[in-house]
Structure formats: C-alpha cells, structure tokens
Structure 1
Amino acid sequence: MSEQTQIVPSQQINEALFAKLRKAPILSSVKDDDIRCLKGVEEVCLEAGDFLARQGEAAHYFWILLEGDITFYQTTPEGEEIALTSVSAGHSFGEVPLLANIPNAASLRAAGHCCLAQLDEDSFWNLMTTCPGARTAILSNMASRIQKLQSFTVQKEKMASLGTLAAGLMHELNNPGTAARRAASQLRENLLRLHEISARFSKTEMTHEQKECMFDLQEHALAGGHPVLMNSIEQSDAEEALAEWLEAHNIENAWKMAPTLVSAGLSAHQLECAQHAFSGSTLSDALSWLDALVSSMQLVGTIEESIGRVSDLIYAVKSYAYEGKAKNQAVDVNKSIHATLVILGHKLREKEIVLEKDFAADLPPLLSDGTGLNQIWTNLLDNAIDALPQGGRIGVRTWAEKASAEPAHSRTDICISISDNGLGIPIECQAHIFDPFYTTKPIGVGTGIGLGIVHRIVEQYHGSIHFSSMPGNTEFVVRIPSATPEK
C-alpha cells in the first residue's frame, strides 16, 4: 500500500465504522449484533492509483468496500495490463483466495478515493466461525459473484472456441478457395483454346474417319470421369513415352500435353487413329483440342471438389454452432466429433499430427436437451494438440456400453476416448485439472477454465469424465447416458 493509505484499527467496532457497515448492501439483512461481532475490523482508505493487493502475491485480507471503486487488473507475460472488472461500494471481495488458500489472481487498485473495511486472516476466520449472520451474507454475496463470473467465463470460453473456429475456417477455406479460383482461371483459358481450334476446324470439311476418330478418343477420355491413378514410377514412364511420341509427330507443347492425356488413360496406341486421320498442323490441333477438353473436365472436377470442401466446412460449422439449440434433440456423437475435427484440421496439419479414428458404427443417438456438447471435444482435442510435439499422435474412439448388468437399472452409455502420446500431465497437477481457474500455464497465457467447463457440461448431461496420464499416454474418457434420465 502507498503512504497515503490510512488504517484505523478497532478490536471492538466503533460506531462510525458500524454505521458505514450498516449501509453496506450485503449486510442489509444482517442483525446489528452480527455486524458488531466483526472483531479486528479496520478501516482502510486509499487514493487513486494505490494498490490494495498485487497479482500472484499471497492473500492475507478480506474487504468490504464502503465507498469509492476498486479495479481488478491482470498483467500478461508481455507486461500488458488488462482491466478485468470494477466493483463499487457495498461489495465484498478477497474471501476466495483465503478460503481456497491460493495467491491473488489479479491486482486490486483504487480508481479514486475509496475506503474499505478490512479483516486479516485471523479476523476473517473468526467471523466465519462466530458470526453466522455475517457469514451467510458474505457467502451469499460470494456465490452470486461466482455465478456471474461463471457466466462470464463460459462466455469467454465460447469466444475462445469461436476464435479457434475462425482460425480454422481461415485456413480451411483458403485452400479450396485458392484451388477453385486457379481452376476457374485455367478453365477460361481452355475454353478460349477450344473456341479457337473449333473455329479453325469449322473452315475445313472433316472426313468420316476424322470425326469417328475424334469421337472415339473423346469417349475414351471422358469415360473414366476421374484421373487414372498410377504409382509415381508408372506415371513418369507413361508421360515420358507419350511426350516423346508427340514430339516425334511435331505436336506443339508435347511435354505439357502428355501429363493431361496420360491422366485420362490415353497412350500413343490410342492416339494412332488420330495420326492416320489427320496430317500436318491438323493433327496438332486435334490433339490440342482433346487435351483442352480433358483438362477442362478435370478442372470442373477440381472446382466441384473445392466447393464440396467448402460445403462440408459450412455443414461442420452449422453443426457446431447450432448443436444443442433445439430441445429434446437426437445428436449423432460421431458427427459432432467429426465436425470439431474438421474445424481443428489446420492445427493437426500444422503439427503433422497422426489422427487415428475408430468410430463405432452402431453408436446410439444422444437424446438430450443439453447444450455445449461440442465444447467438450474442442477443449479435449485442443489440449491434446497443444500437448503434442511435431508428428505426435491423437486417438479418437467411440463405443456404446451397458452401464449396469441389472435389466431394471440398465442403460446404455455413449463412451468417447481422446488420447495422445505427449509428455503427460504432471503428477502434482492431476488432482486439480478439473478445478475452476486452475492452470499450469503462466499468468495471462492460460485461463484454466477449459477442463472445468468440460467437467460441468459432462455433468449437465448426467455423465462422467475420467483420465489417466503418464509420459507417452494420456487418455480422457467421457461417458454420457444415451438418454437423459427422467427427473
């Protein structure tokens, strides 16, 4: 605290401080005797900019703000100071670190002149054991504040998920978008080439042999619909052989044309009819026309595939965003996980992570009116990705399992396993990973709310989540009843 801080100690609460406490909203329903039992309370006054507590330091006090405003700040590892919230007169704070025996999560600083009623640790615990009325009021205020904080953290987690979603979409949409744009540009060039060659052919009378040859080549080239698949050596040999044949017959752009014709399943043998039917420059025009036609069809396929990928992404996002909005809906858990994997695909590829999927084909639908199911997969998968080195492995498995052997109590659980071969969770951290706000990351880097929210959502579905972890094998198993139990 600064030199401006004034402390007025009082073992027995004086009338002036009693009058101020009497006006505090959180103590409005407390009897006078319960307020007077606040032994050891001190009045603390601060000026603008004075620190009441600092982030990361051990907690020693509980406060009731009598007048003025206190602002809560967090400092990031980069030294940036972020204002979290402000509290006004009548509010209490500081009990959570004392009750949980944890350091201050934020710095507290006076926004202007303010005064507070302050109790040290001993006085606070004395209050909690001997002043039932004040204790109830303080705990009720704490519960209300935590409820608001939970709503804020849930919203913050949703925004974090939205950020992950947006980053994934940026990466995922860029590739098919670029491919479709490039294919459309090449298709335009092909159409112009087809127009030019068709215009030249229209000025000459084609023989029956020429028409029949071109028709047969066209039928053969378009029959497959998709490029012929070969191994690298076979493809290279076929392209080289055809390019040499084309060059020997003075065909323009022979080496550029050969890969396209080979991908359509055409070889020098199939092109012999064109060699016999056409002569001179007309042979080059005929094969160039065929090349442009085959290339155009392949480009249309590329555009269709790119648009299909965009459509898949849109479906995944809609599934992710609207899941849980309808009441009493049937959710396909496999599709829900798949949608999340699509959205996180860019992170998997950036780290070259091997994804092993084993989705049960007979998985029953999840019948529930719950929400936030996709946040379970997002948090568990995102944590697994972050924990892995380059080239790591993630396993995702689903199965159905009877929860009880007794027919009267039998129910079917949907089980989901998400595992990775990272370094594992340190032993000393394992008991706390589902605690709200617990994180092993530096201050300002991790919120520690991910797994806490996962645990809350799983409980909302009347399910359970367990994990095991050791170096090289960490596995989270979620069990959710396929139908929400009747209340």
Structure 2
Amino acid sequence: MATATPTPTLNQAPDCLFGRTAHEQDIIAQLHRDIFADVPETELACLVSVAQEKRHVDGEVLATEDDRTHDFHILLEGKVQLTRQTGDQRSLFRKNVTAPTFMGEMTILARGVSHFTVTSVGPLRGLRVSEEMFWQLMASCPNLREAILKEFHMRWRGQAVMRSQEERLMALGTMTAGLMHELNNPGAAARRAASLLRDNLNRMHLLARKFSEHGHSESQRACLTDLQERVLNARRDVCMDSLQQSDREEELGSWLDEHGVEDAWNLAPTLVAIGMTSSDLQCLAAAFPGAELQEPLQWLEATASSIQQVALVEESVARVHDLAKAVKTYVHEGQGGQQSLAINESLHATLMLLKHKFREKQVTVTKEFGSNLPPLTCVCSGLNQVWTNLLDNAIDAVSQGGHISVRTWKQDEDLYVSIGDDGPGIPEPEQQHIFEPFYTTKPAGVGTGMGLGIAQRIVESYNGNIELHSKPGATEFIVRVPYEVATDA
C-alpha cells in the first residue's frame, strides 16, 4: 500500500531551500538533474515543500478514467501504465511511462477529467501535488511554470493528433459495421432473385416443350411475340400506390378467373407489376380459346417474373456498388457524386429490395405517394440507406401479419417521408437514446444499434431531420429533407 508524509503548505520564505532535510535536498537535486534542468533549485525546493512523497506497490491505481480528483504527479523511480478502455472493457490505448517524468498537468490545466487509468508497474516512488498547491506553484515559480507549460503544449498537440486518429478509426469502424449491416439486404435480395430465376427458367423450358408439340397459327405467334416484346422491354415494375395496385390486381384477377385460368390470383400480381391489363390480354384470349389460354399466360408470367428478378439483381448490385463508393468517398474525404433523385422512385426501389422480408412475415405495406414531388439533388445512395434502415426496423418491430405504411408529401420547401408500423412501440424512456451509436432495443444478436444513428447523420448532412412519434401499436418516423440541397451536402 502507499505510504505518505503529511500534506504540507507552500513555504512563503524567499528561499525555500532554507531548512530542508538531507533527503529533501537529494530529491531537489534529482529533480534539477533529471526533470527540471532549467528550473532554479529555489523553485524546486518550493515544489518539494508542498509535495507528498508517495510509494506504490505493483498494480496500484494512481488515477482512473473520468476521475475528477486532479493531482500533479512526479515519477522519481519506477514505471506506470496508462490505459483507456471502451464501455465493454476493450482496450483502446495502452502505454508505459517510465521515471523520471511528470504527469497530470494536462487534466488540471484543461480543467477536464482524467482520460486514462494510471497503474503502477512494479514498485513506484514519486511526489504528489494537490491541484490547489499546483496552482500556487504556477503563480509563484515562473521558471517551473514555463517548464510545465512547454511540456503541456507538446503533449496537448500530441494528444490532439491521437484523438483525431482515434475518432477517425472509430468512425471508420462504425462505417464498416454499417456497410456490413447494409450489404445484407441487397445480398439477400440478389440471392433470392437468382433462385427465382432458376425456377422460372425450368418452368419456361417445360412450357417451351409443350408449345413445340402443338405448333401455333400466325395470329397466335403474332400475339405472343407482341406481348413478349412488351414484357422484355419493361425494365422495371410500374410505380403505383397501394390502392392503384390493389384495384388493378383485382380487375385482372377477375378477368383471368372468368376465362378459366388456373391460379389466376397468383398470376395477376406479376402481370400487373409490369403494366399488363385485361385489355392487353384480349388478343391472347382470342388466339387461345378455352383451356389453351393457360400455357401462354404461364409463359408470359414466367417471362415477366424473370425480368423482375433481373431488375432486382441489377438494383442489388448497384446498391452494393453505391455503398462501397460511399465508404471510399468517406475514407478519402471526398464528395460523393450528386444526382437528381425522385423520392417516390427511391422508396419504391428500396421496397422492392426488401420484398422478400415482407413476404416472410406476411407484412402488409400501404403506400401513399405524393404526386408532382420536386426532385431532390443529393448523394442518392445515402438516402436509400435511410429508407432501408427505417423499413428494416419496422419489419423487425411488427408481428407476423403486421402492417407498415409509407407516405410522401411536400410542404413549403421540404419533402417528407413517413414510415410507420403497428408494432409494440418504443417506450418513452428509450426514445431519447435510439439515435445513439450501438443503442438498440432489439434482442441480443438481432440489432447492432447502428442503423438509426447512421440514418440520422445522413439526413442531417442534407440539413434535414428525423422525428419519432411512438406509442403502443403505432410508431412513425418522419424524415424531412429540403429539396433545395446545398451542392456540398
């Protein structure tokens, strides 16, 4: 354990050397020789007069992180270890400091808290000066003050560089973890699309064999060729809101049912998604009467589904590319390329990427897209990431068969996007923490606590904000972004 002499007071005599013991004279000589060579021994004597000599055993803690008791330490013999840790006790910094030297002046002069835990490594002998006595020494000993401030300036610059590097590394770590979090969605979408493409190719192969056995008339070939070309030219699904989509699926499903088509209500959504209506299929019904209509429609639906999956793979690969480009831009402190983004199209693309997740939980999605919304100039991959995070959280929040709503509108000079769900809600005490890094209300292994923090930083970079309104059974995130965005956003 540490041993110490009683706390003295500053000697007010002009010559602090007067009355010093032989042991104290040895300490003064050591300080002058090893640490404060440019400081007169008279000032060093004043230092010794207010210091406590202390001895520490191996492993003894001199100071802890966030310690608010500020002492000035002079190491005469031995060694200490400085460490800094994260909340989960992982070491961020570790350094050994060997006598002779001093420490603690940065915490006192900067009026902060200790940033390190200081632990003795082996036997340690030194001097301790309280904060009150330190300030008295700084006022009455100009040469000592100059020596301490000179070292303080050098150490402060070094720590500033170190802090900057640490913050950058931590930010890069957050970006990397966020990237891995985001890559999961397009990766899963592309994998699922590839699997469906394989199924469609097998279906089309079997249908092609049946077609070859029958042969077709000129009118049948003309109708099939025309419809197939329309399907192949449909690069992506038609963008429509939930009410339009539901009405068109019901109308086409009824038409198929009336014509005796099996599995009509499963065929209708795919055909509607690429813009097909019952009027477009009239030539097919005329050319293939009765039961003959089934196989051409299955062929058409398989072709449409394949085009959808190809578009989904393209979208997924583009999202991966955009995410990688965003990280590269951040690392090199450059500016990402800007585009003119249609909010409705951006949300529609994200909903497509997450479609498999909606299906897995049988989630109903209601879309209310505002009309005539002005385009937004931005780094579009960033806002796609916002939609992905908010929708992914909503999917996790709702129960099986739950409901998610997506709305867009314009008000004054701002664009708004609302993403809501009918999950259990976020307790009020937790709402103030949800945008903090690594804070999550999800079970262990489900959430990283990173998505909302990333989303908030992206939206704020466009001079926007995210609002949360939550109660049991109704949670809504509202994203506001001014559509006149600065070019350096």
TM range (shorter): 0.5 to 0.7
CA distance in 2, matches of 1:205, 1:231: 40
What is the letter of the counterpart of residue 193 of structure 1?
A: R
Which residue does the alignment assign to 2:127? 117
Which residue does the alignment assign to 2:162? 152
What is the letter of the counterpart of residue 158 of structure 1?
A: R
Deviations 1:5-24 (A, max 9, x none): 24487864522212321343
Give the match's secondary structure for 2:238.
coil
Which residue does the alignment assign to 1:306? 316
What is the letter of the counterpart of residue 271 of structure 2?
A: L
1:341 Cα deviation (Å)?
4.2
Give the match's secondary structure for 1:308.
helix
1:33 Cα deviation (Å)?
4.6
CA distance in 1, matches of 2:121, 2:184: 46
Contact 1:316 1:343 in 2 (8 A): no
Contact 2:319 2:381 in 1 (8 A): no
- Residues 92 and 294 (structure 1), Cα distance of their counterparts in 2 relative to 1, 3 Å cut: same
Which residue does the alignment assign to 1:94? 104
Give the match's secondary structure for 2:50.
coil
Give the match's secondary structure for 2:329.
helix
What is the letter of the counterpart of residue 5 of structure 1?
A: T
1:220 Cα deviation (Å)?
3.6
Which has the higher mean CA deviation after the structures are superposed, 209-218 or 44-53? Answer: 44-53
Which TM-score applies when normalising by structure 2?
0.64
- Residues 99 and 420 (structure 1), Cα distance of their counterparts in 2 relative to 1, 3 Å cut: farther
- Residues 8 and 151 (structure 1), Cα distance of their counterparts in 2 relative to 1, 3 Å cut: same
Q: Does 1:27 align with 2:36?
A: yes
1:231 Cα deviation (Å)?
3.6
Among residues 3, 23, 28, which one is paired with 1:5 in the alignment? 3
Q: Identical aligned pairs, as a percentage?
A: 34
Q: Does 1:287 align with 2:285?
A: no
Within a 5 Å distance, the mapping from 1:313-328 to structure 2 comes to 313-323=323-333
- Residues 357 and 349 (structure 1), Cα distance of their counterparts in 2 relative to 1, 3 Å cut: farther
- Residues 175 and 270 (structure 1), Cα distance of their counterparts in 2 relative to 1, 3 Å cut: same
Contact 1:394 1:418 in 2 (8 A): no
Q: Which runs of 5+ in 1 are unaligned?
A: 325-330, 361-382, 399-415, 423-479, 483-487
Which residue does the alignment assign to 1:187? 197
Deviations 1:114-133 (A, max 9, x none): 11122233432232123332
Which residue does the alignment assign to 1:135? 145
1:397 Cα deviation (Å)?
8.4
Which has the higher mean CA deviation after the structures are superposed, 230-239 or 290-299? Answer: 230-239
Within a 5 Å distance, the mapping from 1:349-360 to structure 2 comes to none
CA distance in 2, matches of 1:312, 1:82: 31
CA distance in 2, matches of 1:88, 1:45: 15
Deviations 1:347-376 (A, max 9, x none): 66678899999999xxxxxxxxxxxxxxxx
Which TM-score applies when normalising by structure 1?
0.65
CA distance in 2, matches of 1:333, 1:245: 47
CA distance in 2, matches of 1:231, 1:341: 24
Give the match's secondary structure for 1:109.
strand
Q: Does 1:63 align with 2:73?
A: yes
Give the match's secondary structure for 1:203.
helix
Deviations 1:67-92 (A, max 9, x none): 11123456777788987543221221
Contact 1:313 1:342 in 2 (8 A): no
CA distance in 1, matches of 2:62, 2:70: 11
Give the match's secondary structure for 2:214.
coil
Within a 5 Å distance, the mapping from 1:265-414 to structure 2 comes to 265-279=275-289, 282-323=292-333, 338=379, 341=382, 345=386, 385-386=435-436
Which has the higher mean CA deviation after the structures are superposed, 310-319 or 28-37? Answer: 28-37
- Residues 172 and 277 (structure 1), Cα distance of their counterparts in 2 relative to 1, 3 Å cut: same
Which residue does the alignment assign to 1:164? 174
CA distance in 2, matches of 1:61, 1:397: 41
CA distance in 2, matches of 1:126, 1:310: 61
What is the letter of the counterpart of residue 112 of structure 1?
A: G
CA distance in 2, matches of 1:216, 1:23: 97
CA distance in 2, matches of 1:81, 1:313: 30
